[in-house]
Amino acid sequence: MKLRTILLTACLSLFSVSFLSCYDEEAKDEYYEKDPMDWDLPVYTESGLNLFGAQYTVNDVLFYVRSSADTVPCRMVAGDGTLKIYMTGKRYKSDFSICFDLKVSQNISSYADLSVLEGDEFFITSDSCDMKIYKSGEYMSVEPWSGSLRINNAKTLYVDNKLSGAIFSGTFGMELKLRNDTIDISYGRFDFLIDDANFSLE
Amino acid sequence: MKSKILLCLVLLSCPFALVHAAGKIKVKVGVDMGCDYYVGDRHDPRYVKQLGSFSDKEETYSNYNPILAGDGVDHLQSWYVGLTGELLFHKERFGVTTGLRYTQFIDIYDPDAAYFYWDSHADGSDVYYVRARTLLQRNHYVGFPLEFRYLASRPGRICRFYFKLGSSWGFLVASDNKLTCYDSSVDDELGGYVDDVGKDPDRFVGSVYPAFGFRIGRYFPLFNIDFHLPSFLINMPASYFYYDMGVGVQLSVQLPTDRAAYDRRDPMGIPYY
C-alpha cells in the first residue's frame, strides 16, 4: 500500500511539473503588428504608433514601402496655410520618402491645431495637394492621375493632463507617373504621433 | 443574486441533514481556506495604448515603438475561505465535501516597462492618457466546492494520507479595478478605482484540482492540508488573463458532528468502528 501511494504521488508531481514547464515566454520582437490581410503591411490603427505602409507598384512590379525602426517615420512642417507631411521609411532595403504638401484652410501653428484636419480629404489632382517622391537624392514632382490622402483621425493628446502631442492617422492611395515609371500606391495607411520631436514651423 | 445563493445553501445543506438524521454516515463540518497561483498569458487591456516614441542617440533618432510589450507570461492569484461539510462513508475511507465558498481572484497588470499608457477618457477632439504603473483587478466570487476524497490510511491514525479530486464553482458578485499612476502627483485625480477596463471577467468560473494531502489529528478536531497539483481553471476570472494552470495549497479544520462517539472511543486507543 505504501509503495503504491508513493508511486502515485510521484507520478502526480511529475505530471504537474511537466505541465508547468510547458510555458515558455515567446520572443516578441516584431516592430509592428501585421495586417492580417497583408502581412507585409502594419495593421491600420489610430493610436499614434508612428507607423506607415503601402503597396507600391512600379510598372506592375509590386514593392512595399513602410516605416522602419531606425528612422523617424514622419515629420511635419507647417507654414502659412500650408502643411508638409514627410513620410520616411524603406522600400525593400533602400531609403524611401514621400512628401505631401497640403494647402489647409486654417493656419497650423502647433501640433495642437492638427485636430482641425480630422475628416479632411486631399485629392492629389487638386490644387490643395502637391506630392513629391524622394528619388536620386532629391524630392521629385510627380504627374498625378488620381488618388487622395484622407485624415481619418486627428486628436490632441494629453498625458497626465499635460499637452503631449497629436495622434494623426489616415489612409492614402494614388496613381501617378514619375519620370517614365507608372506608380500605383495602394492600401496606404499611417498612424503618427506628432510632438515637439517631429513638428516644426517654416 | 441573494435568492440564488440562499437556494444553493438550502440545497447543499439538505444531504447533510438527511444523512445526519439517518446516523449511518459520518459527517464533519468545518472551515477551509487556501490559495492558488496560476500561470498563463496576459493580453494588454483594451484601454492600454501604445505610443510611438523617439530617443535622440548620436544625433540620429531611433524609433523604439514598443508593440505589444505588455503581452506575455504572467500569473494570477486567488484565495478563498468557506464553510464546508464532509460526508464520510465506507469506514471513513471516502468523503464528499461541499459547502459555501468565497473566492477572490487577483490579477495585477504590471508590464516590464516603467509605465504604460492608459486611455482615460476623450473630450471632443482631445484624448486623455494616463501614465500608469499597475492595474489591479480583484474579482469576487461566491459559490461552492465539490470535492471527492479517498483516504489511503484507516481512521484512528494521527496522520492520514489522502488523494482528492476537487472542484470549486463560483458566481461573480463584485469586481473592482484600481489604477496606480506613474506620476504620484496626479494619482488622486486620475488614478484610483476605474469602472470600465474594456472587458468583464466571466460571470461563472470553476476550477478543478487533483490534490494530495494529509489529515492530522485522530478524532477531534481534524486538520487537513492538501496541495493542488495542478489546478485548472474553467472560464476566466480575470479580464485579460488566459490559458491558465496553477498550483495551490488548502488548509481546513473539521469537527465531527457526533463528538460524543469519538470521545467515548478515544481512551481505548483503537479505531472506533
Predicted confidence at residue B153, as pLDDT, reads 85
pLDDT at A185: 95
User: Cβ A49–B210 below 8 Å, yes or no?
Assistant: no
Q: What confidence score (pLDDT) does residue A115 get?
A: 93
Lowest mean pLDDT among A58-72, B13-27, B85-99, B215-229: B13-27
Residues written for chain A: 202
Q: Which three cell numbers stand for residue A175?
A: 496613381
User: How distant is the Cα of B210 from the closest Cα of chain A, in angstroms?
Assistant: 9
Q: How far apart are CA A88 and CA A76, in angstroms?
A: 11
How far, in Å, CA of A76 to CA of B199, rounded? 37
Q: Which of A140-154, B51-65, B88-102, B236-250 has the lowest mean pLDDT?
A: B51-65
Of A50, A157, A197, the CB nearest to B127: A157
In angstroms, the CA A149 to CA A95 distance is 21
Q: Give CA–CA dist B227/B233, Å, rounded.
A: 16
Residues 223-262 of B with CB under 8 A from A: 229-230, 245, 247
Q: Which chain B residues are Cβ-neighbours of A5 within 8 angstroms?
A: 152, 161
pLDDT digits (tens, 9 = 90+) for B185-199: 888 888 888 888 878
- Round the CA-based radius of gyration of chain B to a whole number and report it: 25
Q: Is B60 on the interface with A (CB under 8 A)?
A: yes
Could you give the CA distance from residue B51 to residue B106 in angstroms, rounded to a whole number? 28
pLDDT digits (tens, 9 = 90+) for B137-163: 999 999 999 999 999 988 778 899 999
pLDDT along chain A (202 residues), means of 10: 59 54 43 84 88 93 88 90 92 89 91 93 91 88 92 93 92 92 94 90 88
Q: How confident is the model at residue B266 (pLDDT cuts 50, 70, 90)?
A: low
- C-alpha cell read off for B172: 461573480
Listed ranges A25-34, A117-126, B17-26, B34-43; the one with the highest mean pLDDT: A117-126
Q: Do B39 and A70 touch (CB under 8 A)?
A: no
Confidence of residue B8 (pLDDT cuts 50, 70, 90): low
Cα A89 from Cα A78, distance rounded (Å): 21
pLDDT digits (tens, 9 = 90+) for B47-80: 777 776 654 443 344 444 444 444 556 788 999 9
Contact state of A8 with B117 under an 8 Å Cβ cutoff: no
pLDDT value of residue B256? 81
CB A134 within 8 A of CB A107: no
Contacts of A15 in chain B (CB under 8 A): 229-230
- Domain range annotation of chain A: 31-201
Q: Does B67 contact A28 at a Cβ distance shorter than 8 Å?
A: yes
Q: Taking all residues of chain B, what is their mean pLDDT, rounded to a whole number?
A: 81
| CA-based R_g, chain A, Å | 24
Got the DSSP string for A45-110?
A: -SS---EEEEEEEETTEEEEEE--TTS--EEEEE-SSEEEEEEEEEETTEEEEEEEEEE-SS---S
Percent of the residues in chain B that have a pLDDT greater than 90, as a whole number: 39
ipTM: 0.76
Is residue B225 pLDDT above 80, yes or no? yes
Cβ of B230 and A19 within 8 Å? yes
* Single-letter amino acid code for the residue at B54: F
B253 contact partners, CB below 8 Å, separation of at least 6: B30, B31, B32, B221, B222, B223, B224
* Per-residue pLDDT at B5: 57
- pLDDT score recorded for residue A27: 38
CA distances from B156 to A167, B144, B148, B192, B270 (A): 73, 29, 20, 53, 7
Q: Does domain A31-201 have CATH number 2.40.128?
A: yes
**pLDDT for the residue numbered A179:** 86
- What's the pLDDT at A3? 56
